[in-house]
Every structure is written in C-alpha cells, then in structure tokens.
Amino acid sequence: MQTSISKIANKKICVKAIDHSGRGIYAMQKISPGDLIIQDAPYAAVVDDTNLSVVCSGCFSKGGRLSCCSSCNVIHYCSEECKRKDLLYHQHECNSFVRLKRTPPTSIRLICRILMHRMNDPSSFEDIENLQSNRTMFKQEQIETFAQMSMVVRECISQDALLSASEMLDLFCRLTENSFSILDGEMIAFGVGIYPNASLLNHSCRPNCVVIFENSKLMVRCIEQINNDQELVINYVDLSLPVEDRRKELRKQYFFLCNCETCEYYKSKDNIDPRSALRCQNYKCSNAIEPPSSLDLGLEEYTSTCKACSRNIRYDVADVEKRISKSLQLYEKGTNLRDQDNIQAMSYFKQAFEIQNSLLHMANYNLLSTRKALFDVYCNLKDWPTALSHSLAIVEAYRILYSQTHPLLGIQLYATARIHMLMDNVDIFKVVELLREALKILEVSHGFKHPFTKMVEMNLWDAHGELNSKKS
C-alpha cells in the first residue's frame, strides 16, 4: 500500500537533509505551476467522527447511498466491493465497537489502523518509524494524555498488534506531527490519514505547493514556479492568521519558529500585516494601518499618516482595544449558536461585523472570520443578495492573503458564481467571468481531471450556453 519516495517522486525532486530544517523535498529541475509532484495512497486513513455516516470508509467517496456494517452499525460503505476490500482492517475494529458499545474517537481509530497495517505487513512500518516524533519536545501533560489514549487502543485491537508502552507514545507523537486532514474538493475536512512521503514536505507561509485529495489519494501540486534546487513547501497552518499567531501555533504543535520570507517580511515595522491591521479612516482608501496594540505599551493615543492617501490617522488606543474585545465576544456567542439558531447567531455576527468593519482592514483575520460566518448563515437562510456581497468581499481579501493560484481563491470565486446564478436577475456575463477565473486557478491547484475542476468546467459550459442564447 505504501511506496517509497524514490518510486513515486519522479526525476523532478529529491530528498535532502538540511541542518536548520531537517529533511525536505527539493527540485532537481524547474517545476511549473500545475505540475503533479507526488500522488500517494495513505499508510492508514479513517473517516472523521462527524462524517462516518456520509462518507464511505472504503473508498472515501462522499455522497450517494451508503449502507452501514450490520454488526457495528458505525462504519458505512458505498458498495459490497468497498466492504470486502476493507474487511482486512474493519473485522478487528468492528468487534471492538460492538464490545465497547461506543465508537472510539478519530485518532484512536487511526492508530488502530496503523497498527493493523503493521501486523499485516511488518516491514512497511519502517515508513512510520522514520517519521519525526519530537517526543522530547512534548509537554508532560500531552504525554500523559497519549498514555491514557494508549489504554483505549489496547481495548480495541488484539495483543498481537500492540507495541510496547514507550513505542505507543512515540507513535502518538508521530501521528500528531505528521497526520494530514483529508479534504474534499472544496477543502473541507472529512477524514485523517498518515502519508509518510508527503510528511517530508516542510512548511512555509508562502507555499509553492498545495496538498489536494481525491477521495483518500493525496496529491501534491505546484502552484508557483519552482526553480532547480529550490525547496518544495506547503502550509501547516491557516495562512489567514496574523504572523505572530501563525508562529505561535507552529511552535506549539510542530516545535519550530517559522522564519520564512513572509514572516521575515512582516517583522519589519515598515511592512504592515493586513491580517492584524486596522483600516484607514478615509473610507475610500483600502490601505492597511498598523494597529496600536503593536506599539509601545502605555500609549493612550495613536497618530500616524496613511501612506496611500496621506490622511492623518488618530486612534484612541483604549477605545480600539475595547471595541475589538467586544466584537470578539459577540463573534464567540454567534459561533456557539450556529448549530442551534441561525437567526440569533446572525444577530451576534452582524453586531460583531458592524464594529469590525468600521475599524479593521478588509483582510484582518477577525473581520474575515466574521464575514465568512455571515456568508455561511446567509447562504443557509437563502438570502442570496447579502450572501453575494460578503462573498465578493471575501474574494478581495483572499486576493491580498493568498497567491493568485491558491485553491481557496478559486473555490470562493466558484461559490460567488453559484450565488450569482441563484439570484432573481442573473448577471450571466459576471457568472462566466467568475467561473473562468475559478477554473483557471483550479486547473493549477487541483488539476484538469479532478472531479471538482470538472464540475466547475461543466458549470462554465452551461453558463456559456446561456450567454450564447441571450446573444442570439
């Protein structure tokens, strides 16, 4: 099931060990945007807890009619063939589900499948053992949690498949450091897998590659030109987070301080990170303004001049902090209500948005998070005009935050086109324009043959047909 890197990587890349960053994958020649670099099946993978009834645990396809295992009533399959192929692994976990009368969480089920793969093919486990564990870097309470989880694993699989207590802790550390969320075409997670080859890719806040999935198959695609001897990098964390938040998250989970070119760029006071910036007080200006919180503590009033429009800027620091704090409280209240009451959640999000939109830059992480929440709520309520206004603003924020071939930009452009098509008065010219741009990006990030790309292409053909009929 697992293939060595030398067998899948082709002649364009190689693995190197560099002192400051450990092992990584490097180009051996120029690689163009859209090139497929790696495609790999997982060593082990599971559907996550929330999607067990809607995703096939055999082939990881979404949608369609599924039937559950008649013994455990937990795992679902799209066909008898998938059920038969998965039997080698599921027969062990199925018995434990029935015996325990509960479904172990995602991470436990993944560990069990890794151990069952090892039991069935002992030599393959070398791929897992070669992964970075960083065990000595984990806090004691994390290690203690892993020890407790190991006890649950012991209840789920046979004694023949178990490792020693110390080896189990190493395995949990490796899983924490190296697992991938399995995403659908719209980059929404529905599973977790371990892919030893792709784990060799290091992080950058300006990635030149993206990880895309087709069911459980992982694909690494180039989204920016990569030159000979240049490292191939992906992002480990949310790139819309402010610099210091990204660095904090990377240090907490992956135990390194990011010094990529993007992080270094925003360390300079001359370069303002829009993810944490205020907006210019001239509402016709879209320039980012350095937030007072980044200045010397004790400052009561912040004054500056906008470099774009030359307007004099004056902020009451305490007032800014108070308003931001209030908006975050409102956002949290809305988030807690989203699954219960869309209307009440929308009310809180709108109040948070009104505060943030008057104060924060359009690509500010907090404003963007609130806007995305409102976009989802308005879509659920079928308020298409309001959803459209937020979607268009999200697209503009993404143009600032991401490269112009990043899949999230392409996906949001497609979502915007779809909303246009649901409006009473459809602007078919705008729909075609949005779909063309979305398709151009997705052909790079997802590839021409990916189901999501083909779906966008079909929508574009339909829109072209409608446009031509209007012209005639």
The answer on pLDDT for 296 being more than 70 is no
Given this model, what pLDDT does residue 106 score?
96
- 240 alpha carbon, distance to own chain's centre: 11
Instruction: State how far the Cα of 243 lies from the Cα of 120, in Å rounded to an integer.
Output: 44
| pLDDT band (50, 70, 90) for residue 332 | very high
Residues 77 and 140 in one domain: yes
Instruction: State how far the Cα of 31 lies from the Cα of 309, in Å rounded to an integer.
Output: 40
- What percent of the chain has a predicted confidence (pLDDT) above 70? 95
Residues 142 and 169 in one domain: yes
The answer on pLDDT for 424 being more than 90 is no
Total structural domains in the chain? 3
Given this model, what pLDDT does residue 3 score?
36
Beta-bridge mates of residue 438? none
The answer on pLDDT for 295 being more than 80 is no
Residue 120: helix, strand or coil by DSSP? helix
**DSSP for residue 362:** T
Q: What is the CATH number of the domain that holds 200?
A: 2.170.270.10
Residues 101 and 200 in one domain: no
Residues 84 and 161 in one domain: yes
Instruction: State how far the Cα of 46 lies from the Cα of 332, in Å rounded to an integer.
Output: 30
Any domain includes 58: yes
Q: What's the pLDDT tens digit per position in 165-203?
A: 999 999 999 999 999 999 999 999 999 999 999 999 999
| pLDDT band (50, 70, 90) for residue 472 | low
- What percent of the chain has a predicted confidence (pLDDT) above 90? 76
Q: What's the pLDDT tens digit per position in 66-93?
A: 999 999 999 999 999 999 999 988 988 8
* Exposed / middle / buried, residue 165 (Cβ in 10 Å: 0-12, 13-18, 19+): exposed
Residues 101 and 17 in one domain: no
Residues 78 and 136 in one domain: yes
Q: What's the pLDDT tens digit per position in 204-213?
A: 999 999 999 9
Given this model, what pLDDT does residue 286 score?
87
Q: Residue 18's closest CA among 246, 239, 233, 251?
A: 233
Instruction: State how far the Cα of 411 lies from the Cα of 419, in Å rounded to an integer.
Output: 13
Q: What's the pLDDT tens digit per position in 125-174?
A: 999 999 999 999 999 999 999 999 999 999 888 888 899 999 999 999 99
Any domain includes 112: yes
Residues 31 and 49 in one domain: no
Instruction: State how far the Cα of 218 lies from the Cα of 221, in Å rounded to an integer.
Output: 10
Token pair of 180, please? 């991938």
* Exposed / middle / buried, residue 36 (Cβ in 10 Å: 0-12, 13-18, 19+): middle
Any domain includes 221: yes
Q: What's the pLDDT tens digit per position in 373-395?
A: 999 999 999 999 999 999 999 99
Q: Would you say the C-alpha torsion 28, 29, 30, 35 has a positive or negative sign?
A: negative
Average pLDDT over residues 414-429: 93
DSSP characters for 214-261?
ETTEEEEEE-S-B-TTPEEEE-SS-TTS-HHHHHHHHHHHH------H
Residue 269: helix, strand or coil by DSSP? coil
Average pLDDT over residues 325-337: 96
- pTM attached to this predicted model: 0.93
Instruction: State how far the Cα of 275 lies from the Cα of 365, in Å rounded to an integer.
Output: 5
Given this model, what pLDDT does residue 7 score?
45
Residues 124 and 30 in one domain: no
Kindly report the backbone phi and psi dihedral angles of residue 219, in degrees, each rounded to the nearest multiple of 5, phi listed first.
-130, 135
Any domain includes 256: no
Q: What is the CATH number of the domain that holds 465?
A: 1.25.40
Instruction: State how far the Cα of 348 lies from the Cα of 30, in Å rounded to an integer.
Output: 50
Given this model, what pLDDT does residue 297 score?
52
Given this model, what pLDDT does residue 354 score?
97
Average pLDDT over residues 443-468: 94
CB 425 within 8 A of CB 262: no
Token pair of 374, please? 């409102």
* Exposed / middle / buried, residue 37 (Cβ in 10 Å: 0-12, 13-18, 19+): buried
Give the least confident one: 111-125, 183-197, 412-426, 458-472: 458-472
| pLDDT band (50, 70, 90) for residue 23 | confident
**DSSP for residue 31:** B
Mean pLDDT over all residues of the chain?
Answer: 92
Tell me the CA distances in angstroms from 471 to 423, 428, 446, 457, one per residue in order.
20, 11, 32, 21
Any domain includes 250: no
Token pair of 257, please? 């301080």
Instruction: State how far the Cα of 415 lies from the Cα of 431, in Å rounded to an integer.
Output: 10
Beta-bridge mates of residue 279? 288
CB 132 within 8 A of CB 17: no
Token pair of 125, please? 């486990």
Domain residues for the domain of 443 are 402-472
Residues 228 and 125 in one domain: no
Residues 150 and 217 in one domain: no
The H or E element that residue 268 is part of is: none
Given this model, what pLDDT does residue 17 score?
83
Any domain includes 120: yes
Residues 93 and 152 in one domain: yes
Strands 202-203 and 231-234: parallel
Count of CB atoms within 10 A of residue 428's CB? 18
Residues 96 and 171 in one domain: yes
Any domain includes 87: yes
Given this model, what pLDDT does residue 302 score?
80
- Amino acid (one-letter) located at 76: H
Alpha helix (H) residue ranges in 43-133 = 80-100, 106-120, 126-129
Any domain includes 361: no
Q: What's the pLDDT tens digit per position in 224-266?
A: 999 999 999 999 999 999 999 999 999 999 999 999 999 999 9
